[in-house]
Homo-oligomer: A and B are copies of this chain.
Amino acid sequence: MKIYIHTKFQESIYQQFRDGLEPKYEVIFGDGEVSESLKEQFLTCDICYGNVPLDWLNTSSQLKWLQLNSTGLDPYQQLTEYQFQLTNLKGFFGQSVAETTLAGILAVYRRIDELTRLQTKNEWVGTPIRETLHLLHKAKVVILGSGAIGLKTKQLLSGFECKTTVLNSKTISQLADYLPTTDILIATLPETKETIGLINKTYLDMLKPSALFVNVGRGSAVDESALIEILKEEKILGAVLDVTEIEPLPTESPLWNLPNVLLTQHSSGGWAEESAEKVVFFLNNLAHFEKGEELVNNVDLVKGY
């Protein structure tokens, strides 16, 4: 049996794959590269880890299982017919993304961004900054999306005694009722037909002046021009953005220099042990595969999740 590891990792992670795989497996490391010769090797493999180019999949007949290196499914939704099992990393990033969500909210509320800038200048401000700080205590929070990120975020907020409402595709129609009293709106939405552009100007205009907007899902969920406008005009307190319409964020984007925006550069899913735990996840799923058991995080591309 041959396994193709497409994702580029550090050498220590490749060694972790080797150590974890029985000798019966032949393993090929593509190191993130795309070439005709690598594609040919891929086409001889039974199992693949990583997000290979879409056209490799269209011509594969040997592949029995593809484990994605992501929660997101794009561009694989475009596959109309496929014979292999497909699994993703759904839930894998929940804790990490939720922690950056809390870090971002607290950074804005407790002015960590401003204190960092002052530190760069050896500038003591002390007491006057105190009256610009906010408390998360008992804040009214609306979380869009009831996946792992949404539910983990709700859990992290519990110690702060927040009044948290989680809206999913079934309850999203209630959003307008909540927005005028929402302190923090957190989008954790995946990209689907229904979520693209969901957070439009009408919704954004309903937020109160002290509201904070957080997006740790996909940039496509929000009308970015409308968001930039209300941030420029200081119609809301600010925004914490892990994701944007275009990534990397273009140098000319006004988001870089708005003082009420904190950009976390799509880092929220990461942590030091991220790669090592991906190997553990894969090897665990491989054990299920060997026994003919159902795989963890099986994806149905027709349903889209």
Q: Which residues of A contact B (CB under 8 A)?
A: 95-96, 99-100, 102-104, 106-107, 109-113, 115-120, 122, 124-127, 129-137, 155-160, 247-249, 251, 256-257, 261-275
Contacts and interface: CB of A to CB of B under 8 A. Distances in A.
Given A102-B102, A156-B160, A267 B129 contact: yes
A129 B280 CA distance: 22
A117 B262 CA distance: 11
Given A112-B262, A115-B265, A132-B272, 14 more contacts: A99-B106, A99-B110, A99-B135, A107-B112, A118-B265, A119-B256, A122-B251, A124-B249, A126-B265, A127-B267, A129-B265, A131-B274, A131-B275, A134-B272
A18 B262 CA distance: 40
A263 B275 CA distance: 32
A111 B247 CA distance: 19
12 contacts: A102-B106, A103-B106, A106-B106, A107-B107, A110-B268, A112-B264, A115-B264, A120-B120, A126-B248, A157-B159, A158-B158, A158-B159
Contacts of A270: 127, 129-131, 133
B274 A130 contact: yes
Given A122-B251, A267-B133, A274-B130, A103 B96 contact: no
A136 B272 CA distance: 12
Contacts of A271: 130-131, 133-135
A269 to B, nearest CB: 7
A122 B256 contact: yes
A18 B110 CA distance: 30
Contact of A103 (B109, B119, B257): B109
Contact of A257 (B122, B136, B264): B122
Contacts of A256: 119, 122
A57 B246 CA distance: 64
A157 to B, nearest CB: 7
A270 B100 CA distance: 23
B110 A103 contact: yes
A113 to B, nearest CB: 5
